[in-house]
Structure 1
Amino acid sequence: MSFFPKETYVARRRKLAESIGKGTVLLLGNDNVGMNYTDNHYPFRQDSTFLYFFGINKPGLAGTINTETGEAKIFGDDLSIDDIVWTGPMPNLSELATCAGVTVTAPSNKLVEEIAKCQIQNQPIHYIPQYRHRNLIKTADLLDIPINQVNLNASVTLIKGIVALRSIKSEEEIVEIEKAVNLSLDMHEAAIAMARPGVNENTIAAKIRQVAEAAGGTLSFPTIATIRGEILHNHYTGNTLQEGDLLLLDAGAEVRSGYAGDLSSTIPVSGQFTARQREVYDVVYSAHLAAMDTLKPGTEFTETHRAACLKIAEGMNSLGLMKGDPAEAVAQGAHALFFQCGTGHMMGLDVHDMENLGEQYVGYTDTKLKSTQFGLKSLRLGKALEPGFVVTVEPGIYFIPELIDRWKAEKKFEDFINYSEVEKYKDFGGIRNEEDVLITKDGSRTLGRKKTQSADELESLMASITETV
């Protein structure tokens, strides 16, 4: 059935309708998607916005909300006896709808009539951008518009209304997110226990999935478990760990309700960091702490990002890899040779919460626009923080040989970068560290139990595990 009391969904739909004003909201749930033929499909994942407003984790559904009357309807088909042979008995649509506070249901083919009736009455149809091809086709057919125009014509009013609601997490949502964060910590602790010379990345990735699924959850995104940490989203897991390697782990759990966790750790495979590894790790950790110190209502997340970047530039100066004024280097973007991405993002029902609605709408405002500067343009969140936001904090340092070669050849930022020293680090890899944080009315609170983070803590934990084994 639904994950929260029906009153939760009724209140969410009412608030959404009030923010829209006029028209009908159309929200498509997801369908099963075949892997290599129709009946062999990928694990089902409901659309997060549909889940937020209707709470039903079943394929083949659509919902409408009349913004003037507040009436909600759910369209879908009950199982036939041919289906039940394979699935066993399931709750029917009206039973599921009742749990979400919806009293009107209809077969899926009646949705065409519903939308046509709205169009005859000149009611605006509000829908959000679609990320699955099947729903692109459905939307195009329902509204009689070309497929390539569907996302261009998505309702900005609806997008902004959804972002305003989903951005502020309720207490019941925080409970679910914290479950996901703690399960994510279980996954990371399992990986730390396994990260030893001779172990394959695949083995660690498989263990992480096992931990998530054994607890009734799943992965909130494909696991990154790699000794090639300079590749920001490296999903290849075929390498064998060796003495002196760093294992970069970026992995999170999704619990049954759909809420996500997202953590990153960098683990010394030998149990201890080399002197050079510890120096860089400590710079990243100091950047993490600096970013965490900024988190409170009213702070623009661009300032959180800048605090992390400044610590990285200062650290690179102390290591001889950069020079000059760190603040000016950050302003011009020279630090992005080492930190090419953003410090964090919103998190909730999506690990990058509401990303399909558009980063500008989710992470920025009408007056605060995304930057086009390399590095800064990858910051998904820039606007002022509010109580109820859940954000990640994830600074990192990455030595990407191809980027180093490109910038060096272009003589880029030579006033700030010591390329002769940077050359010595081209085989280093990458480091990042990530936690999940709730913005409170007075400041912030790290979600989940304490995470092992500092170099000393990691080395101590790994030593204790070795002694136990």
Structure 2
Amino acid sequence: MSDDDVQQTSSRSQRPASSAFKDFMGSSWAPASGELPGPDPAAAYAEQRRRRVSEAFAGQRVIVPAGPLKTRSNDTDYRFRPHSAFAHLTGLGVDHEPGAVLVLEPIEDAEHEAVLYFKPMAGRDTEEFYASAKHGEFWIGPRPTLAEFQARLGITARDLDEFTAAAGKDAGTVGIRVLRDADPQVDALIDAARSEHGVDAEQTAQQDSTLTQFLSEMRLVKDDYEAGQLRESAAATISGFEDVVRALPEALEHARGERIVEGTFFARARLEGNDLGYDTIAASGNNATVLHWIRNTGAVNPGELLLLDAGVEVDSLYTADITRTVPVSGTFSPVQRRVYEAVLAAADAAFEVVRPGAKFRDIHTAAVRVLAEHLHEWGLLPVSLEEALSPEGQHHRRWMPHGTSHHLGLDVHDCAAAKRELYLDGELQPGMVFTIEPGLYFKNEDLAVPEEYRGIGVRIEDDVLVTQDGCENLSAALPRTPDAIEGWVRGLRD
């Protein structure tokens, strides 16, 4: 039964079913241009990434699904976003390949042929052209043809209908590795093929896990294309922050001013990119002390601080992740400035660590030590500074409970499946991109601090690219110092 066959049985369907209608709908359409596009900018880089996978899994079939559409409500879906590993190995972004699968098929000399399986656009002479709400051009617009994808990506493109036979072929003699949990139907298909050929389930589960880990670790070091995309994402995000500051007067007048902030940034994300990289945190006042405040239902009140944590995902699906904390009225109060300057000092200390050869975990250590020193100076620690910093203490983490850095790329928390020794315990290398984001969060209900601190949450987050001799701050165009922040807010609002 086709997608729209189901719709035809519903009470809301009113499409004509006459032969005359079908004949008329299939006629008098302008022919396609027939011209093939040139290679995508990412194609050569994606080929190099696939070569690394081929070398690591010689002689084995590697299957990387894009993933299916996900239902939002009843018969409506979320906008499609492919799995990040699929995007990384094909160079495809945006939303035109739901259900697609990349297969690296082993051939001679320990090499692979890359094959992209996807459902091609139905011809205009078919009923699906106007009848299928999931695949019909009349409903969702044009999609690339098999030939166009092959020209753009430099890989073989085949109809998705051929995937089932190809995926499980010779499952008893050819090792198969699949990126699991990206597409349940693909998982089930491979499991059935393995079971039919008596392949050990426990062994293959470990092999699939190894593939997932490898594909995540591949992204720890970005190539030149990826670095360029992250610069574009940061630039678009900075524009969105400027939009938000201009919208603060409107936010101050609305009962749910945080929604004004959220909506303003979202407009920029859709204007310059594909979408948000993650749900925006638009937190004013005490909401800024909630680390993942994404409800954004609160008011924006004069005298409060607004913590905005947001990122634009560009069409290639690379995202920025930037935070600034700004005084809504344009000026920090003395205690707000005191907290802000402590967080800034911690961020600056973390930046000093970043250079090739340094340990990733040292970034966090440098930042939290500075925060602990300020908390001690303010008399907030219940123990000595050194006792708080000891593994047995950690009292300062009450007000900075999260990590200072995470890798950034196709996922906002990129490379999450990488081994600990390559992530937290790993050495920094040129091409790595990550955040530096210390913060201090004093909740209204926190009786361990004087009243003047309560309801203040401050985070400063920048996106950092490791270079040969240090680092590049991709978000440096946004003000960071309190004086610069105040001038920026007042200047954009005036």
Provide the TM-score with structure 2 as the length reference: 0.80
Distance in 1, matches of 2:78 and 2:376, equals 48
- Tell me which amino acid in the other structure corresponds to 2:340: Y
Task: Flag the 1:136–1:439 CA change in 2: closer, same or farther, 3 A.
Answer: same
Q: Could you tell me which amino acid in structure 1 is paired with residue 83 of structure 2? A: D
Matched residue count: 426
1:346 alignment partner AA = H
- Cα-to-partner distance string for 1:236-266 (whole Å, 9 max, x where unaligned): 1222211221111000001111111110011
Does the CA-based 8 Å contact 1:55-1:100 persist in structure 2? yes
Q: Quick check: 1:184–1:212 contact (8 Å CA) kept in 2?
A: yes
In structure 2, relative to structure 1, the CA distance for the partners of 1:7 and 1:115 (3 Å cut) is same
CA distance in 2, matches of 1:321, 1:434: 24
**Structure 1 SS opposite 2:472:** strand
Query: Cα gap change, 1:112/1:149 in structure 2, threshold over 3 Å: closer, same or farther?
Result: farther
**1:36 and 2:79 aligned:** no
Q: Does 1:116 align with 2:168?
A: yes
Return the offset for 1:137: 4.1
Distance in 2 (CA, whole Å) between partners of 1:194 and 1:5 is 36
RMSD over aligned CA atoms reads 2.5
- Residue 42 (structure 1) shift: 1.0
d(CA) in 1 for partners of 2:458, 2:141:
48
CA distance, structure 2, for counterparts of residue 5 and residue 313 of structure 1 = 44
Find the counterpart in structure 2 of residue 125 from structure 1: 176
Moved over 6 A (4+): 148-151
Unaligned runs of 5+ in 2: 1-36, 129-135, 196-200
Distance 1:160 1:138, change over 3 A: closer
Residue by residue over 1:373-420, the C-alpha shift from the partner in whole angstroms, topping out at 9 and shown as x without a partner, is: xxxxxxx74422111100110000112467x57xxxxxxxxxxxxx3x
The answer to whether residue 231 in structure 2 is matched with residue 178 in structure 1 is yes
Mapping for residues 47-66 of structure 1, pairs under 5 Å: 47-57=83-93, 58-66=97-105
1:25 equivalenced with 2:95 (yes/no): no
Structure 1: gaps spanning 5 or more residues? 367-379, 406-418
Say yes or no: does 1:69 pair with 2:111: yes
Q: Is residue 2:352 matched to residue 1:293?
A: yes
Whole-Å separation in 1 of the counterparts to 2:158 and 2:487: 60
Asked if the contact 1:17–1:66 (Cα under 8 Å) also holds between the matched residues in 2, the reply is no
Say whether 1:251 aligns with 2:287: no
Q: CA deviation at 1:13?
A: 0.9
1:46 equivalent in structure 2: 82
Aligned to 1:388: 431
Equivalent residue number for residue 192 of structure 1: 245
Q: Which string of whole-angstrom CA distances, capped at 9 and with x for unpartnered residues, describes residues 83-117 of structure 1? A: 133234432123213322212x3332332222321
Distance across 1 between alignment mates of 2:145 and 2:98: 13
CA contact (8 A) 1:3 1:257 kept: no
Give distance in 2, aligned partners of 1:395 and 1:129: 34
Distance 1:325 1:442 in 2: 36
**Secondary structure of 2:155's aligned partner:** coil
CA contact (8 A) 1:195 1:267 kept: no
Cα 1:244–1:137 shift into 2, 3 Å: same
Partners in 2 of 1:300 and 1:117 — Cα distance? 45
* TM superposition score normalised by structure 1: 0.84
DSSP-derived class of the 2:389 partner: helix
Residue 291 of structure 1 and its aligned partner are, at CA, apart by 0.5
User: After superposition, where does 1:112-261 map in structure 2 within 5 Å?
Assistant: 112-121=164-173, 123-130=174-181, 135-144=183-192, 153=206, 155-196=208-249, 197-199=252-254, 200-227=257-284, 228-261=287-320
The 2-side partners of 1:44 and 1:160 are apart by 24
Match of 1:334? 395
Please tell me whether the aligned partners of residues 45 and 225 of structure 2 are also in contact (alpha carbons under 8 angstroms): no
1:201-233 Cα deviation digits (max 9, x unpaired): 111111101112222442111110011111100
Deviations 1:306-363 (A, max 9, x none): 10000000011111112554344123321110100000111111111133xx2x52xx
Post-superposition CA distance 1:45-102 (Å, at most 9, x none): 1111111111234212001113533111122221223213323443212321332221
| Cα 1:88–1:129 shift into 2, 3 Å | closer
Q: Distance in 1 between matches of 2:437 and 2:232?
A: 20
Letter in 2 for 1:392: T
* Deviation string, structure 1 residues 1-20 (Cα, Å, up to 9, x no partner): 77425332222211211122
Match of 2:490?
463
Distance change >3 Å, CA 428–CA 116, structure 1 → 2: same
* Paired residue secondary structure (1:465): helix
**Residue 479 of structure 2 corresponds to residue 452 of structure 1:** yes
How far apart, CA to CA, are the structure 2 residues paired with 1:289 and 1:272?
22
Structure 2 CA distance for partners of 1:275 and 1:25, relative to 1, 3 Å: same
State the one-letter code of the partner of 1:136: P
For each residue in 1:102-156, what CA deviation from the matched residue of structure 2 results, as whole angstroms up to 9, or x when unmatched?
Answer: 12x33323322223214132x22222342x5xx134313322389x989954634
Q: Which moved more, 1:84-93 or 1:335-344?
A: 84-93
Is 2:242–2:492's contact at 8 Å kept on the other side of the alignment?
no
The letter of the residue matching 2:413 is H
Distance 2:231 2:244 in 1: 20
SS at match of 2:168: helix
Aligned partner of 1:34: which letter?
T
Partner Cα distance (2:306, 2:152) in 1: 45
